[in-house]
Amino acid sequence: MEIQQLTFYERVGGEPTFRALVHRFYQGVAEDPILRPMYPEEDLGPAEDRLALFLMQYWGGPRTYSETRGHPRLRMRHVPFTVDRAAHDAWLAHMRDAVDSVGLEPELEKQLWDYLVFAARSMVNTPD
Protein backbone atom coordinates (compact mmCIF):
# COMPACT_ATOMS: atom_id res chain seq x y z
CA MET A 1 0.00 0.00 0.00
CA GLU A 2 1.35 3.40 -0.99
CA ILE A 3 1.21 6.17 1.58
CA GLN A 4 0.50 9.49 -0.05
CA GLN A 5 2.31 12.48 1.41
CA LEU A 6 0.37 15.69 1.85
CA THR A 7 1.77 18.75 0.13
CA PHE A 8 2.81 21.77 2.15
CA TYR A 9 -0.25 23.49 0.66
CA GLU A 10 -2.52 20.80 2.11
CA ARG A 11 -0.68 20.65 5.45
CA VAL A 12 -1.20 24.37 6.15
CA GLY A 13 -4.89 24.34 5.27
CA GLY A 14 -4.92 25.03 1.54
CA GLU A 15 -6.39 28.06 -0.16
CA PRO A 16 -8.04 29.65 2.91
CA THR A 17 -4.67 29.83 4.70
CA PHE A 18 -2.86 31.36 1.74
CA ARG A 19 -5.69 33.82 1.09
CA ALA A 20 -5.63 34.90 4.76
CA LEU A 21 -1.83 35.23 4.73
CA VAL A 22 -1.76 37.36 1.61
CA HIS A 23 -4.76 39.47 2.66
CA ARG A 24 -3.05 40.35 5.94
CA PHE A 25 0.17 41.12 4.06
CA TYR A 26 -1.58 43.55 1.70
CA GLN A 27 -3.33 45.27 4.60
CA GLY A 28 0.16 46.30 5.69
CA VAL A 29 1.30 47.17 2.18
CA ALA A 30 -1.71 49.46 1.73
CA GLU A 31 -0.37 51.77 4.45
CA ASP A 32 3.36 51.39 3.70
CA PRO A 33 5.13 54.50 2.33
CA ILE A 34 7.84 52.41 0.62
CA LEU A 35 5.80 49.57 -0.86
CA ARG A 36 2.44 51.18 -1.67
CA PRO A 37 3.87 53.37 -4.49
CA MET A 38 4.96 50.19 -6.31
CA TYR A 39 1.28 49.45 -6.96
CA PRO A 40 0.00 52.17 -9.28
CA GLU A 41 -3.52 50.75 -9.38
CA GLU A 42 -5.80 52.02 -6.67
CA ASP A 43 -7.17 48.58 -5.84
CA LEU A 44 -4.61 46.13 -4.41
CA GLY A 45 -7.01 43.22 -5.04
CA PRO A 46 -5.43 42.06 -8.31
CA ALA A 47 -1.93 42.08 -6.78
CA GLU A 48 -3.28 40.23 -3.75
CA ASP A 49 -4.84 37.60 -5.99
CA ARG A 50 -1.62 37.16 -8.01
CA LEU A 51 0.52 36.64 -4.91
CA ALA A 52 -1.97 34.21 -3.37
CA LEU A 53 -2.13 32.18 -6.59
CA PHE A 54 1.65 32.17 -6.90
CA LEU A 55 2.20 30.99 -3.32
CA MET A 56 -0.51 28.34 -3.57
CA GLN A 57 1.08 26.95 -6.73
CA TYR A 58 4.61 27.13 -5.34
CA TRP A 59 3.62 25.11 -2.27
CA GLY A 60 1.78 22.36 -4.16
CA GLY A 61 -1.68 23.77 -4.75
CA PRO A 62 -3.52 24.44 -8.01
CA ARG A 63 -1.48 25.63 -10.99
CA THR A 64 -3.84 28.54 -11.66
CA TYR A 65 -1.02 31.10 -11.54
CA SER A 66 0.92 29.53 -14.42
CA GLU A 67 -2.23 28.72 -16.35
CA THR A 68 -3.28 32.38 -16.32
CA ARG A 69 0.06 34.24 -16.19
CA GLY A 70 2.67 31.86 -17.56
CA HIS A 71 5.98 31.11 -15.88
CA PRO A 72 6.42 33.13 -12.66
CA ARG A 73 9.75 34.79 -13.68
CA LEU A 74 9.75 36.65 -10.38
CA ARG A 75 12.96 38.64 -10.84
CA MET A 76 11.92 39.73 -14.34
CA ARG A 77 8.48 40.82 -13.16
CA HIS A 78 10.08 42.99 -10.45
CA VAL A 79 12.68 44.70 -12.68
CA PRO A 80 10.53 47.82 -13.25
CA PHE A 81 10.56 48.50 -9.50
CA THR A 82 13.33 49.76 -7.27
CA VAL A 83 13.74 46.93 -4.81
CA ASP A 84 16.41 48.05 -2.38
CA ARG A 85 17.18 47.05 1.19
CA ALA A 86 14.45 49.32 2.56
CA ALA A 87 11.84 47.68 0.30
CA HIS A 88 13.18 44.25 1.23
CA ASP A 89 12.89 45.05 4.94
CA ALA A 90 9.41 46.55 4.60
CA TRP A 91 8.20 43.55 2.59
CA LEU A 92 9.53 41.13 5.18
CA ALA A 93 8.07 43.13 8.08
CA HIS A 94 4.56 42.93 6.59
CA MET A 95 5.06 39.29 5.65
CA ARG A 96 6.27 38.47 9.19
CA ASP A 97 3.06 39.94 10.58
CA ALA A 98 1.04 37.96 8.03
CA VAL A 99 2.81 34.68 8.78
CA ASP A 100 2.31 35.19 12.51
CA SER A 101 -1.38 35.89 11.94
CA VAL A 102 -2.16 32.50 10.37
CA GLY A 103 -0.83 30.45 13.30
CA LEU A 104 1.02 27.64 11.56
CA GLU A 105 2.72 24.76 13.34
CA PRO A 106 6.33 25.78 14.11
CA GLU A 107 7.89 23.39 11.57
CA LEU A 108 5.62 24.64 8.78
CA GLU A 109 6.03 28.26 9.82
CA LYS A 110 9.84 27.91 9.63
CA GLN A 111 9.68 26.30 6.20
CA LEU A 112 7.45 29.08 4.88
CA TRP A 113 9.46 31.85 6.53
CA ASP A 114 12.78 30.52 5.22
CA TYR A 115 11.38 30.58 1.69
CA LEU A 116 9.98 34.10 2.10
CA VAL A 117 13.34 35.41 3.38
CA PHE A 118 15.09 33.77 0.42
CA ALA A 119 12.52 35.17 -2.03
CA ALA A 120 12.77 38.69 -0.60
CA ARG A 121 16.56 38.61 -0.82
CA SER A 122 16.46 37.41 -4.42
CA MET A 123 14.17 40.29 -5.49
CA VAL A 124 16.63 43.02 -4.44
CA ASN A 125 17.76 44.71 -7.65
CA THR A 126 19.10 48.05 -6.45
CA PRO A 127 22.16 48.50 -4.23
CA ASP A 128 21.86 50.70 -1.16
Task: Supply the CATH classification number for the domain 12-123.
Answer: 1.10.490.10
Q: What is residue 126's predicted lDDT score, i.e. its pLDDT?
A: 87
Within a 10 A sphere around the Cβ of 102, how many other Cβ atoms? 19
Which residue stretches of 14-105 are H helix? 15-30, 45-58, 64-69, 74-78, 85-102
In tens, the pLDDT along 23-46 reads 999 999 999 999 999 888 788 999
Q: What is residue 45's predicted lDDT score, i.e. its pLDDT?
A: 94
Q: What is residue 1's predicted lDDT score, i.e. its pLDDT?
A: 59
Q: What is residue 67's predicted lDDT score, i.e. its pLDDT?
A: 80
Q: What is residue 26's predicted lDDT score, i.e. its pLDDT?
A: 97
Regions of the chain with pLDDT less than 50: none
What pTM value is reported for the model? 0.89
CA dist 116 → 52, 59, 110, 121 (Å): 13, 12, 10, 8
